[in-house]
Structure 1
Amino acid sequence: MDFVIFILAIGALIVGADFIVNQSERIALHFNISEFVIGATVIALGTSLPEVAASVAASFNNKPEMALANAIGSNIFNITLVLALIFIITKNIKPNRDFFAKDTTWALVPIMLFIIMSIDGHIGRFDAILLLLLMSAYVLFLLNDAPVLENEAIEEIKQEKYFNWLKTIPLLTVGLILVVGGAHFTVESASGIATDFGISDRVIAIVLISFGTSLPELVVSISASIKGKVDMAIGNIIGSNLANITLVIGLSALVSPNPIAIDLTIKTTIFDIATMTVATIMLIYITANKLYSKPAGISLLILLAIFLEGTYQSIQP
């Protein structure tokens, strides 16, 4: 029964996030905010809502290990699965944006900051505030760096995204209810599954929950790639990964009654953080050399296989 509830809860998270993203996009367009800013902020942050909701719910329910594992696991899946599939499925990837020069530093800095914060064995509220400030800095960077759309372009997009307050507000409300409710039941059912199979909350969170909450990034990015919007697809991954470390861990630490404990002497913890770091370094290498190709995608899938095999070995008696 827990597994059925888990699937339904993940579905509620994804549908709720989709409602919020779509209606937020319409609001942004109504106020003449450019499509680039919408894609880099609203969509990237919107597709991270399931991770945020699930981790905050886990932390609020005194399951900090699950909150942390979800954030780390989502970052790993976003790069090694979502980005890998984009490279494998899409032909002739030629982004207009120089991701290496402008964006990949923002993917690595929060991870380095997180590792430094972890040395003392916990993530407290002060650390959380610093992480949230870093996310704010990234949003400001995007706003300052964003190209301005011509009025004709804005009007054209507006016609495609018809705006109506009477429709938008109810859908936003439903989206928020689905995300909050879905997050609660995701955590509760995942804990039940962990108990039934005698495995840790960490394994459930880093595999099942993180994969499930990464589905919005998977759907949005692959859909954007098929439509030829590779800038949006890759930007969504970078923005979402930044949000996972800054927003997900930051908000989880803020609502947690106690600092989130991180034991760097445990092999599984080191393995998870190391895999996330290696995946991010591979992302930087790929963008620096513009290796947007199938071999790069296969290399990322190999790292995913190593991660899953290592996680499986960690639960063996």
Structure 2
Amino acid sequence: MDFIIFIAAMSALIFGADFIIRESERIALHFNISHFVIGATLVAFGTSLPEMAASMMAAGQGKSDMAVANVVGSVIFNITLVLGAVFLISKKMLPKRNLFAQDSAWVIIPLVLFFIMVQDGVIGRVDGLLYLLLMVSYLVFLFTDSKEDLGGEIDEDLIKDKFNWGKTVLLLTIGFALTIGGANFVIDSGTNIARVFGVSEWIIGIFLISLGTSLPELVVSIVAVKKGNAEMSIGNIIGSNVANFSMVLGAASLVNPLTVDLLATKFDMLIMIAASIALVFILANRLYNKAGAIFLLIILALFIQNSLV
């Protein structure tokens, strides 16, 4: 029964995120927000809502391992699985934006702050507030740095639709309800599954839950690159990872301080570092192709192999 609940809850998370993403795009189109900002903020935050809801629920229930593991695993899956799949299926990606010069710092800064904060074994409420301030600085950076217009990244059906605040607010409310409600059931069923198989909450959080909550990023990024929107797909992942560290961990640590055992989780932490460095290397060398995909998928294979043994 727990497996059925888990699958149903994951479906609610994904459908809820989809409502939020689509209505966020509708708002962005209405107010003429630039297309890279859509990918790195509205879409990125929308696809990060499952992670945020799941980690906050886990923190509220005193399950620090699951809350932190969800973020660590999501960062790994976002870079290796999502971007790996995007680079693998894309025929040609030529982003106009200089992603290395303009955005690579935002891959590294949240990661560095994470390891500074966890040296004492706890991500406390002050750390959480600092992370939320980082999120604000990222938003300021994006809205002052990006001068591009919307281009062709918005669904054509949205362009044809007349903007309706009532409909948009209703669908956003449904999306948030599905996301938060789904997250609650994901945590409960995930914990029960872990107990049945004798698996630790860390493994459930870093593999099962983080993989499930990364599915929105995967779907949105693949759809974006299929439409020729390379900036949106890569911006989605960079923005999602910034949100995972700052917004997700920040909000979760405000609910309840999070304990982190670096020694017990060192392999997963090293994989997260390796994936982040690999992404910066790909941005620097513009390896938006099958070579970059293979590079990332090798890291993913090492992560999965260790998680399943």
- Same structural fold, with TM-score higher than 0.5 when normalized by the shorter chain: yes
Whole-Å separation in 2 of the counterparts to 1:291 and 1:20: 31
SS of 1:48's equivalent? helix
Whole-Å separation in 2 of the counterparts to 1:233 and 1:72: 20
Aligned to 2:259: 261
Aligned to 1:291: 287
Any conservation in 1 of the 2:73–2:211 contact (CA below 8 Å)?
A: yes
What's the CA shift for 1:291? 1.3
Distance 1:150 1:104, change over 3 A: closer
Aligned to 1:312: 308
Distance 1:17 1:150, change over 3 A: closer
Q: Does 2:18 align with 1:22?
A: no
Whole-Å separation in 1 of the counterparts to 2:186 and 2:150: 43
Letter in 1 for 2:276: T
Q: Does 2:104 align with 1:104?
A: yes
Whole-Å separation in 2 of the counterparts to 1:32 and 1:98: 22
Whole-Å separation in 2 of the counterparts to 1:80 and 1:265: 23
Q: Does 2:256 align with 1:273?
A: no
Which consecutive segments of 4 or more residues in structure 1 shift more than 4 A?
none
Whole-Å separation in 2 of the counterparts to 1:186 and 1:166: 30
What's the CA shift for 1:148? 5.3
Any conservation in 2 of the 1:78–1:241 contact (CA below 8 Å)?
A: yes
1:192-217 Cα shifts (integer Å, max 9, x gaps) = 10011111011111111000000000
Distance 1:150 1:83, change over 3 A: closer
Aligned to 1:176: 176
Any conservation in 2 of the 1:26–1:162 contact (CA below 8 Å)?
A: no
SS of 1:264's equivalent? coil
Distance 1:276 1:72, change over 3 A: same
What's the CA shift for 1:127? 0.5
Whole-Å separation in 1 of the counterparts to 2:225 and 2:158: 22
- Give the alignment's TM-score, normalised by structure 2: 0.95
Q: Does 2:191 align with 1:216?
A: no
SS of 1:181's equivalent? helix
Aligned to 1:73: 73
Whole-Å separation in 2 of the counterparts to 1:232 and 1:125: 32
Any conservation in 1 of the 2:71–2:245 contact (CA below 8 Å)?
A: yes
Count of residue pairs brought into register by the alignment: 307
Whole-Å separation in 2 of the counterparts to 1:22 and 1:248: 21
Whole-Å separation in 1 of the counterparts to 2:237 and 2:166: 32
Whole-Å separation in 2 of the counterparts to 1:166 and 1:175: 14
Consecutive unaligned residues in structure 1, runs of 5 or more: none
Distance 1:196 1:26, change over 3 A: same
Task: Give the alignment's Cα RMSD to 1 decimal.
Answer: 1.9
Whole-Å separation in 1 of the counterparts to 2:87 and 2:145: 26
- Give the alignment's TM-score, normalised by structure 1: 0.93
Aligned to 2:33: 33
Percentage of pairs with the same residue: 54
Whole-Å separation in 2 of the counterparts to 1:288 and 1:30: 34
